[in-house]
Structure 1
Amino acid sequence: MRIGLMGGTFNPVHLAHLHIAEEAREACALDRVVFIPTGDPPHKPLAGEVPFAQRSRMVALAISGNPFFELSLVEGERAGKSYSIDTIRVFRERFPQDELSFIIGSDSFLEIGQWYRFREIFASCNLIVVERPGKRISDPVEALPVAIRAEFSYTSGARRLDHTAGTSVQFLSGCPLDISSSEIRELAAAGRSIADLVPPQVAAYITEQGIYNTCRSQKRQ
């Protein structure tokens, strides 16, 4: 089975996240995509300190209509910082016979050299890199951290990097939805509509729970 792993704070999950996941699933013939909300982000504080339970619930609502999408609470169940390599290892242990692909946007890929033990990520699973607006990767080799470029060979026609460990990095072009979670948080905090940015059930949950009202009150102080 081919399993796609898509991590993120999902604060909140939005339509671009769903588009990226579906594009990766179709292009790479994935059997399912597992959404993995971050427990404790390692690189920066979680905006608004939205609890893991609420972020996970938003993901569950967002993917409820897609039979190929699943939710994993693995990072909320583990203490300490949520490092991608640790999550990948958990899935590798649980599904040793399956082919794992870690799905990220091109914006994240351009910063992967700053990730914890990033070299091990490339050797542990495939990567599927989906282009985000304003973050086009014209030269995949140049986008790699310098320290590991010699470990890859590039097939330009397929837009794929092959690693010496037998894994690969597949580049997919085009996620036209220019949406960010920070934009949604700001709109929600200002009491403005987010209906065209998130699934309707997520918008309703955000309003019902008043999730980003704290941001609004902080701005008024």
Structure 2
Amino acid sequence: MTHTLTQPVITVEMKEEILDNAPRKQVGILGGTFNPPHLGHLIMAEQVGTQLGLDQVLFMPDSTPPHVDKKHPIAAKDRVAMVERAIMGNPLFGIELCEVKRGGISYTFDTMKYLKQQHPDTDYYFIIGGDMVAYLPKWHKIDELVKLVHFVGVKRRGYTPHSAYPVTWVDAPLIDISSTEIRRKLKQGCSVRYLVPEAVLDYIEEAKLYRD
């Protein structure tokens, strides 16, 4: 007698149960313009990722942020290339390009809603500086956004670690570096070595960025 083997039928309910029982991934998101990315970004991501035991921290360049600095427009492709070079060599780090690919104004709520739909097995931790926590009440659809992500605030001198919204606070070395200051130095012909990774500095020089 010949027996025919048939594949078991996996229902939607069974898939949901498997997903519910599987270990959930813990992923940090560090969004920004990264114009350019600097050592402060890397230190922040490293400290949050290791202190919270995250599986990965994704750097997420925006396409057009709601409050873009129009004085220094740098193409998204250049910012993506600099981020890719900045995070090389650290297995904890990765890059998320959904906002760049989508284009237009980047609202965190829309992005996180999309990512949660694409990766229902993942818990996201959105990383912001302590100075930005005070602005959370002004964020687009913030009351809905806090249901999608865990906010992580990186403590900064002069800013009280407090918020009406749920925020996990993390200590990190206080590195006073800003992309604005780096652009100013580059425009003036000053050195920015040790402020940005060597690979990022090489790209800036090769692509002749921030000269005007």
Instruction: Tell me the TM-score normalized by structure 2.
Output: 0.84
Q: Which residue of 2 aligns with 1:71?
A: 95
Contact 1:16 1:175 in 2 (8 A): no
Higher Cα Rg: structure 1 or 2? 2
Q: Secondary structure at the match of 2:101?
A: coil
Deviation at 1:46, TM superposition (A): 4.0
Q: Secondary structure at the match of 1:213?
A: coil
Q: Which residue of 2 aligns with 1:178?
A: 176
| Runs of at least 4 residues off by over 3 Å | 44-47
AA paired with 1:198?
A: V
Deviation at 1:95, TM superposition (A): 1.1
Deviation at 1:135, TM superposition (A): 4.0
For 1:45 and 1:118, the matched residues in 2 are separated by: 23
For 1:87 and 1:173, the matched residues in 2 are separated by: 26
Structure 2: gaps (5+ residues): 1-24
Deviations 1:95-134 (A, max 9, x none): 10111111111111121222211122211111111113x3
Which of 210, 213, 216 is the equivalent residue of 2:211? 213
Q: Which residue of 2 aligns with 1:219?
A: none
Which of 175, 196, 202 is the equivalent residue of 1:198? 196
Which of 16, 23, 31 is the equivalent residue of 2:47? 23
Identity %, equivalent residues = 35
Deviation at 1:12, TM superposition (A): 0.5
For 1:173 and 1:52, the matched residues in 2 are separated by: 30
Deviation at 1:174, TM superposition (A): 3.3
Deviation at 1:76, TM superposition (A): 1.0
Structure 1: gaps (5+ residues): 150-160, 162-168, 215-221
Q: Which residue of 1 aligns with 2:62?
A: 38
Which of 114, 137, 144 is the equivalent residue of 1:120? 144
Instruction: Tell me the TM-score normalized by structure 1.
Output: 0.81
Which of 154, 159, 163 is the equivalent residue of 1:130? 154
